[in-house]
Amino acid sequence: MAEYIQVDILLVEDTTTDAEMAIRALRTRGLANNLIWVKDGREALDFLFYEGSFSTREKSMPRLILLDLKMPKVDGIEVLRRIKQDPELSLVPVVMLTSSAEERDIVDTYRLGANSYIVKPVDFEQFDQVVSDAGLYWMLVNKLTH
Amino acid sequence: MKSIVSSSHQFWQSKIPLFGIVTALVALAVITGFSLTSIDVFQDRAHWVDHTYQVRSNLEETLSVLRDARTAARGFVISGQPTLLPGYVASKNLVPARLESLRVLLQDNPEQLRNITTLEAMIATVFSDLEAEIELRKQSTDPDQAIAYVASSQARAILDGVRTEITVMEDVEKGLLAQRSSEAAQVAHQTKLLIVFGTAVAFLMLVAAFWLLLRESRQRQSADKTVLEMNKALMQHASQLEATNKELESFSYSVSHDLRIPLRAISGYARMLQEDCADKLDAEALRLLKVIRDNSKRMGELIDDLLTFSRLGRKPIAAAEIDMKGVVDHIIEEVRRRTEHDRVDIVVDTLPPTWGDRSLLQQVWTNLISNAIKYSGKREQPVVRITGENQGTETVYSISDNGVGFDMQYYNKLFGVFQRLHSADEFPGTGVGLAIVQRIVVRLGGRVWAESTIDEGATFFFAFPQK
């Protein structure tokens, strides 16, 4: 049982600086203790479906997924589709965290079952606020399934 | 000019085949007319041949009756047989009917009527001579005396005269027939010529008309082909332009989009440095960090505006009738709430409604009202006035302020993207607001313009065609 780690948040983000700032924002609110950061859609799917480098991972589901949209290899839309097609994973809230404010992207992700859509603010202070607000709401305020 | 000339040319060209067909029809009508007249002439000629024959036959019969009468009279004189006298009388009685029928036949020929009168007189002389011979023989018992009288009588000479007269009359009729025949022949010749010539003309005209129509149809086909080709080229060009436009839109979107990531990092890491290492940094280092953050924030605004501007080209237009007064009042309320310029006096006249996209028109008014407030905000008594009225075929809206205005010398830069006529230190802004206004107004089918005097204020107008 030494390998067992309860993952609270799965952060899927290809931009290192954005990831670091997001982690920092969550950490300052004490939400990043059990956070896993993967750098693209392929890695995210490997993690969620116990494939590739995560094939030996202990069975557990994150409580919140923060998902970027535009990523190399497999993009956020595809990851979202796979999550929402899976009967168990579909219960995990997925918050889209993206630079895109395109109407089409918003509509597409909500259709696929995204639980929230957040446009990353350019300004760091606002970014910090928005990410920590989302973390607090989904991890502490919102009632999740067990 | 060229098109007018060529269209008039085409007009006449299109009339030529019609002219040819009409000419051909006229030629055929003339040929028909002449042919009918010609048939009449031939029928007439046939009638005259018959007439001449009747006249001649009557004349011959008259002569024959005279001979019979004379033979009977002579027979009686020589033989004294009274049985011969009824034959004489019968022949004599036939003569008036012959003459009468001749008169009827020749009633419209005065010359022949005169000849008949002469003939009648001669015949009367013949008969009185024969009567005298018969009387002499009846009374005389000596047949030789009567025979001698017969021998001495003038009857023979007179009868020769009658024969001559009849020949004359026959010749007159023959002459007339010959003249009429020659006339008929001439008409026949003329008709023949006319038929040949007229048919040739009609044929040529029809061939010409057909040829011209054929040529016209070919020209039209080739013109149609040219138009089709041009259309195709135009469509190709349009789709190329559309593709280029889309490419540009997506390029500007991606650029603005991708620019945000490093920008957020710059501002974020500067902030992290400020927070995490505050105790290791002196006042000057903190000031420099603030400059970095202020500038990255400003660049963020520029990118946001550029994104808005880029999105305008792709946003579909939802057209509806818009209550402009309602839109403007709502925006003023919102702008006042956002800024601290609530001392600006904003006067809004009655605004006629227009046809357009609500969210786009809201953007136009927001930018114009914000500008008016911004540039008049430094006055002691800033006033902004918004008007609208129907002018001719357009509905014109205007917004004027008593602010700093702008130099009309740089008017051509006023609506350009990232063009500013004031420094950012004086008045904050990115220089995209008026470019957005112009892009929206033009996209909604309107036009936008402005007037200003430096330090006295500016007026912006925009107009949409009336629905």
ipTM associated with this complex: 0.77
**Is B330 part of the contact surface with chain A (CB cutoff 8 Å)?**
no
By the CB < 8 Å criterion, does A104 face chain B? no
Higher pLDDT, B299 or A49: A49
d(CA B16, CA A145): 91
Within-domain flag for A1: no
A84 or B69: which leads in pLDDT: A84
The C-alpha atoms of residue A47 and residue B63 are separated, in whole angstroms, by 150
Summarised one tens digit per residue, pLDDT across range A6-29 is 778 999 999 899 999 999 999 998
Query: CB of B267 within 8 Å of any CB in chain A?
Result: yes
pLDDT at position B386, please? Answer: 94
CB B272 to CB A24 under 8 A?
yes
Q: Find out whether B293 and B271 touch, Cβ atoms under 8 Å.
A: yes
The answer on pLDDT for B4 being more than 50 is: no
Contact B261 A125 (CB under 8 A): no
Mutation choice for B interface testing from A71, A123, A132 by most B CBs within 10 A: A123
pLDDT at B3 over 60: no
The residue-averaged pLDDT of B93-115 equals 86
- DSSP annotation of B285 reads H
Q: Check B267 against A17: CB less than 8 A apart.
A: no
Higher pLDDT, B292 or B80: B292
Residue B54's pLDDT is what? 86
Percentage of chain B lying above the pLDDT 70 cut: 95
What is the span of the domain harbouring residue A41?
9-141
Question: Span A72-83, mean pLDDT?
Answer: 92
Average pLDDT over every residue of B105-113: 84
Tell me the chain B residues in contact with residue A21 when contact means C-beta distances shorter than 8 Å.
264-265, 268, 272
Q: How confident is the model at residue A2 (pLDDT cuts 50, 70, 90)?
A: very low
How does the average pLDDT of chain B come out, rounded?
Answer: 84
Q: Is the Cβ of B261 closer than 8 Å to some Cβ of chain A?
A: yes
Q: What is the pLDDT of residues A115-132, one digit of tens each?
A: 999 998 877 888 999 999
Domains and CATH numbers, chain B: 2-215 (1.20.1440.210), 317-465 (3.30.565.10)
Query: Which has the closest alpha carbon to B398: B448, B459, B334?
Result: B459
Dihedral over Cα of B126, B129, B130, B131: its sign: positive
The percent of residues above 90 in pLDDT, for chain B, comes to 18
- Give the mean pLDDT of B17-42: 84
Determine the Cα angle at B102 with ends B99 and B104, to 5°.
Answer: 115
Pick A125's closest partner by Cβ from B265, B271, B307. Answer: B271
Number of domains forming the structure of chain A: 1
Q: Give B249's contacts (C-beta < 8 A, 6+ positions apart).
A: B310, B313, B314
Per-residue pLDDT tens over the stretch B146-199: 677 777 767 677 778 888 888 888 888 888 888 888 888 888 888 888 888 888
Residue A125 touches partner B, C-beta closer than 8 Å = yes
Does a structural domain hold residue A85?
A: yes
Return the residue matching tokens 């009632």: A143
From B264, B270, B272, residue closest to A18, measured CB to CB = B264
Say whether pLDDT at B385 is over 90: yes
- Split at pLDDT 50, 70, 90, the class of B7 is low
Instruction: Pick from A91-100, B73-82, B85-94 the range whose average pLDDT is largest.
Output: A91-100
Q: Among B304, B225, B236, B229, which Cα is nearest to B264's?
A: B304
Q: Is A105 on the interface with B (CB under 8 A)?
A: no
Q: What share of chain A is helix, strand, coil (3-state, %, to 5)?
A: 45, 15, 40
Mean pLDDT to the nearest integer, A48-73? 89
In a domain, A2, yes or no: no
For A22, nearest residue in chain B (alpha carbons)? B268
B429-457 pLDDT, tens per residue?
A: 878 889 999 989 998 889 999 999 988 99
A115 and chain B: CB distance < 8 Å anywhere?
no
B174 vs B388: which has the higher pLDDT = B388
Looking at residues B106-130, what average pLDDT do you find? 85
CB nearest to A123's CB, from B261, B272, B300: B300
pLDDT band at B1 (very low <50, low <70, confident <90, very high): very low
In this predicted structure, the answer to whether residue B382 has a pLDDT above a threshold of 80 is yes
A72: distance to nearest CA of chain B, Å?
14
**Residue A3 included in any domain:** no
Q: Nearest-CA distance from B310 to chain A in Å? A: 11
For residue A128, list chain B residues with Cβ-Cβ distance below 8 A: 268, 271
Please indicate whether, in this complex, the C-beta atoms of B265 and A21 are within 8 angstroms of each other. yes
**Contact B386/B350 with Cβ under 8 angstroms?**
no
Weakest mean pLDDT among B114-118, B146-150, B459-463? B146-150
Residue A3 has pLDDT above 50, yes or no: no
How many CB pairs below 8 A link A and B? 48
What's the token pair of residue B394? 């357009």
**The predicted structure's pLDDT at residue B227:** 92
pLDDT in tens, B326-371: 999 999 888 877 776 567 888 999 899 998 888 889 989 999 998 9
- Residue B92, pLDDT above cutoff 60: yes
Nearest of B286, B291, B348 to residue B323 by alpha carbon:
B348
The pLDDT assigned to B323 comes to 92
Residues of B with Cβ-Cβ distance to A99 under 8 angstroms: 257, 260-261
The answer to whether residue A146 sits within a structural domain is no
Nearest to A124 among B257, B267, B304 (CB): B267
- In this prediction, residue B12 carries a pLDDT of 65
pLDDT of residue B308: 79
Tell me, yes or no, if A107 comes closer than 8 A to chain B by beta carbon: no
Query: For residues B67-85, b (16+ Cβ closer than 10 Å) or e, as one string?
Result: ebbbebbbbbbeeeeeebe
DSSP per-residue letters across A10-52: EEE-S-HHHHHHHHHHHHHTT--TTEEEESSHHHHHHHHTT-G
To the nearest whole percent, how much of chain A has pLDDT over 70?
96
Q: A124 and B300 in contact by Cβ < 8 A?
A: no
The CATH number assigned to the domain holding A22 equals: 3.40.50.2300
